[in-house]
Amino acid sequence: MNNINIENNEIINVVFFILFAFLSMFLVLILFFYFSRKKIVQIEVNKKNLEIEHQKELINSVLTTQEEERNRIAQDLHDEISSKLNVVSLNSYLLKSENLTDEEQSVIINNVIELTQKAIENSRRIAHDLLPPVLEKFGLHAGIEELVEEYNSTKFVEVTYENNIHFESYLVEKHLHIFRILQELLNNSIRHGKATKVSIQFTNFENKKTCIYSDNGIGFDNSMSKNQKGLGMKNIESRIYFLQGNFSFTSKPNEGVKMVFNFN
């Protein structure tokens, strides 16, 4: 009888041990999944926070660029138009003076005509910088062709342009973003990269409209953050962001630069 009781107690102890082991494993699994899930959620939160911060940086870059553009336009209006119109006004006032000789009148009138013509030319240039008329009238393809022709006419650089997509369905705002990106890239290639050859190609790649830009300039170390975060690159990145696209940028010393970006 005692042997039976001992065996029953042992069985009960084994059962309790097994139950305790299962409960412990179950608790460990619950804690594991809880903390794993918590860690995953935290990683996602950190990722979202980084994305938000990055978007803030892009927006700040746009605002900074816009403010610089406004300041430049204001300076141009003051230096190139307002100052000339002030001189035109002064010369017009001098025409009212008595006892002017025919020669003096002729000089004043010629000054008025010359200064007025310069003011008109400068106002056209400022308007062109704000929104090139060719974009609004003929679309992005014609605008890029004109831009390429302007750079090729300098004889300092050879720019080739190939387009295999259609831009007609795009809004003017999108045209302008793409146009400004190319302007910035060309400016960087020539002023900083000392490039003599530039290639611009638009094509469909993996069902996305894609631009492939490259030059043969001096390039730079792409791994250095200071080379990646200049205002020019931030401006380009912000425009691609508004185009709902992505980009990749590669460069090495003495190997030029290459940028590939897509857009919707």
67 with 181, same domain? no
Q: Which of 107, 129, 151 is the last residue of a domain?
A: 129
The residue ranking higher by pLDDT, 174 or 49, is: 174
How far is it, in rounded angstroms, from Cα 151 to Cα 144?
A: 11
Of the residues 76, 94, 129, which one is the last residue of a structural domain?
A: 129
Within this chain, do residues 40 and 158 fall inside the same structural domain, yes or no?
A: no
Domain span at 216: 131-263
pLDDT in tens, 119-157: 888 887 777 777 788 888 888 999 999 999 999 998 899
Q: Which pLDDT score, from 0 to 100, does residue 44 have?
A: 76
Which tokens in the block code for residue 165?
A: 């997509």
pTM (2 decimals)?
0.63
- 39 — pLDDT class (breaks 50, 70, 90): confident
Is residue 221 domain-shared with residue 137, that is, in the same domain? Answer: yes
Same domain flag for 67 and 146: no
Q: What is the pLDDT of residues 59-113, one digit of tens each?
A: 666 666 666 777 777 777 777 888 888 888 888 888 888 888 888 889 889 989 9
- 16-20, 119-123, 160-164, 250-254: range with lowest mean pLDDT: 16-20
Asked if residue 171 and residue 152 are part of one domain, the reply reads: yes
User: Element (H or E) spanning 34, and its range?
Assistant: helix 2-76
Residues 91 and 156 reside in one and the same domain: no
Distance in angstroms (rounded) separating the CA atoms of residues 179 and 154: 19
Helix (H) or strand (E) holding 95: none
In a shared domain, residues 38 and 140: no
User: Which residue, 129, 156, 184, sits at the end of a domain?
Assistant: 129
CA distance 89 to 112: 8
For the chain, the residue count is: 264
What SS3 state is found at 251? strand
| pLDDT value for 75 | 79
Q: What is the pLDDT of residue 66?
A: 64
* pLDDT, tens digit (0-9, with 9 covering 90-100), for 212-247: 999 999 988 766 555 555 557 878 888 898 888 999
We report the CATH number of the domain holding residue 230 as: 3.30.565.10
Q: Can you give the pLDDT at residue 262?
A: 94
7 and 62 in a common domain: yes
Give the count of domains, the chain: 2
Rg (CA), the chain: 34
Q: Is 10 helix (H, G, I), strand (E, B) or coil?
A: helix
Model pLDDT, residue 141 = 93
254 shares its domain with 189? yes
Q: Are 118 and 145 contained in the same domain?
A: no
Kind of pairing between the strands at 247-251 and 158-163: unpaired
Q: 138 and 111 in one domain? A: no
* 22 and 142 assigned to the same domain: no
Q: Would you state the pLDDT for residue 140?
A: 92
Q: Write the pLDDT tens digit of every residue in 171-211.
A: 778 888 899 999 999 999 998 899 999 999 999 988 889 99
**Interstrand relation of 197-205 and 158-163 (parallel, antiparallel or unpaired):** parallel
